Amino acid sequence: MGGLAIDGGRPVRDVSQKPWPAWPIFGEPEKSNLLEVFESGHWFYGKKVKEFEEKFATFQGANFGVSCTNGTAALEMALYACGIKAGDEVIIPPYSFIATASAVLRMNGVPIFADINLETCNLDPEDTERKITERTRAIIPVHVGGLPADMDAFKLIAQKYRLKLIEDACHSWGSQWKGKGTGALGDCGAFSFQMSKNITSGEGGILLTEQEEIADIARSFSNCGRSKTGQWYQHVLAGTNLRLTELQAAILLGQLSRLKEQTEHREKTARILDEALKNVPGIETIPSDERVTRRSYHLYIFRFIGEDWKISRDRFVELLNAEGIPASAGYPPLYRNPLFQEKSLTAVCSLSCPRYGRTINYTNVFCSQAEKASWQTVWLPHWLLLAPVEEMADVVEAIRKIRAFF
């Protein structure tokens, strides 16, 4: 086996000689679509945008798709279209990207953190229900790493308390819950096409919904407040410009053409890792759920129980990278960001607005399961899962090699 690579030993995988798949993957579909747009002379919000919106919505099983500049904008559109107003509370998980929280703030809502289920890293329905107050107006489950949250439970909660259910689906292109695509399970869902995502145009986003009213409001909000029946210089609400370009749509159509095949391959390689790692002491994989009928695997996530190894998760990640396995740590809890820890947050409109009528101190927030996840989770990127199935043996070998030294 030799010594650890970090100490000068030979790495399990020499990535200079045996690189992992490059990302993004692109080819003739993107090139031909882009050339078509270039030669058309029409680069602005036209037929390619419409085609992509329709095809992506159909792929996820939604009635309507409204594209935009990025996933953050898609979340803001979703909140606006669902009627979130100043002082409205929106329950979110602390284990997510900052946009899940900042979108609520920018729409003048109040983020309320509910804990996660440590086994899945997704928002916990039971703690969510405990956090509901008379000010609660919406819940945003995040499908972390591409694993759908428990949408059966969240639908019941939303119906019981008459809340809007907005999916942060920015990790879950292609994921399905009981055969239905994410983004089409709640009132609406937001997706991102940023550079690291499983389908990308560098930046970009989309809102999906089954409800025409939400789609119409989102379209107006993203298109300078225009309505679908009004004149070009007639504006019906205080919208903004979040329009996707024809060039981005051309790339996304090419990306979408191989998304199903890539998703199925990631599922296959992830199953190999699950099986190989399930008996490694101190490694806890994310359990499967029979209600998840397709899983996008933006990330392959497992928990590293450092007490079993006598080293920290961060040291383990460092050792794993030295062995040629690209790994990173997971999210810190959102409420630990300076945004929520510094007193300047009280100047944010939604928190100082008389309509809210109460004070909130995020320095007192503590979600025990999210805290554990923040120092236990290890992420492997989705493009690693696109390697041939036999190459997953390198991941397993690297973990077992490190284990042998600790």
Q: Which of 226, 266, 294, 313 is catalytic?
A: 226
Q: Could you report the per-residue pLDDT of 329-348, keeping only the tens digit for each? A: 999 999 999 989 876 665 56
113 a catalytic residue: no
168 a catalytic residue: yes
Q: What percent of the chain has pLDDT over 70?
A: 97
Indicate the average pLDDT of the chain.
95
Q: What is the pLDDT of residue 11?
A: 98
Q: Could you report the per-residue pLDDT of 192-214, keeping only the tens digit for each? A: 999 999 999 999 999 999 999 99
Q: Which of 88, 115, 150, 168 is catalytic?
A: 168
Please state, in angstroms and rounded to a whole number, the distance separating the CA atoms of residues 218 and 65.
Answer: 10
**Concatenated DSSP letters of 19-80:** PPPPSS---HHHHHHHHHHHHHT--BSSHHHHHHHHHHHHHHT-SEEEEES-HHHHHHHHHH
Beta-carbon contacts of 361 under 8 Å, excluding residues fewer than 6 positions away, are none
Q: How confident is the model at residue 123 (pLDDT cuts 50, 70, 90)?
A: very high
Domain extents in the chain: 28-257
Q: Which CATH class is domain 28-257?
A: alpha beta
Q: Which of 13, 164, 197, 336 is catalytic?
A: 197
Q: Which of 17, 231, 233, 343 is catalytic?
A: 233
Q: Could you report the per-residue pLDDT of 348-383, keeping only the tens digit for each? A: 666 666 677 788 889 999 999 999 999 999 999 999
97 a catalytic residue: yes
Q: What is the pLDDT of residue 344?
A: 60
340 a catalytic residue: no
CB 219 within 8 A of CB 242: no
18 a catalytic residue: no
Q: Which of 52, 95, 97, 340 is catalytic?
A: 97
Please state, in angstroms and rounded to a whole number, the distance separating the CA atoms of residues 351 and 240.
Answer: 23
Q: How confident is the model at residue 396 (pLDDT cuts 50, 70, 90)?
A: very high
Q: Which of 137, 171, 294, 336 is catalytic?
A: 171
269 exposed, middle or buried (CB, 10 Å; 0-12, 13-18, 19+)? buried
Pairwise pLDDT comparison (385 vs 1), residue with the higher score: 385
Q: Which of 194, 211, 271, 315 is catalytic?
A: 194
243 a catalytic residue: yes
Pairwise pLDDT comparison (401 vs 344), residue with the higher score: 401
φ and ψ at residue 142, rounded to 5 degrees: -110, 130
- How far is residue 112 from each of residues 107, 195, 340, measured CA to CA in Å? 14, 29, 11
Amino acid at 321: N
Q: What is the pLDDT of residue 40?
A: 96
47 a catalytic residue: no
Burial state string for 62-92 with b = 16 or more CB within 10 A and e = fewer than 16: bebbbbbbbbbbbbbbbbbbbebeebbbbbb
274 a catalytic residue: no
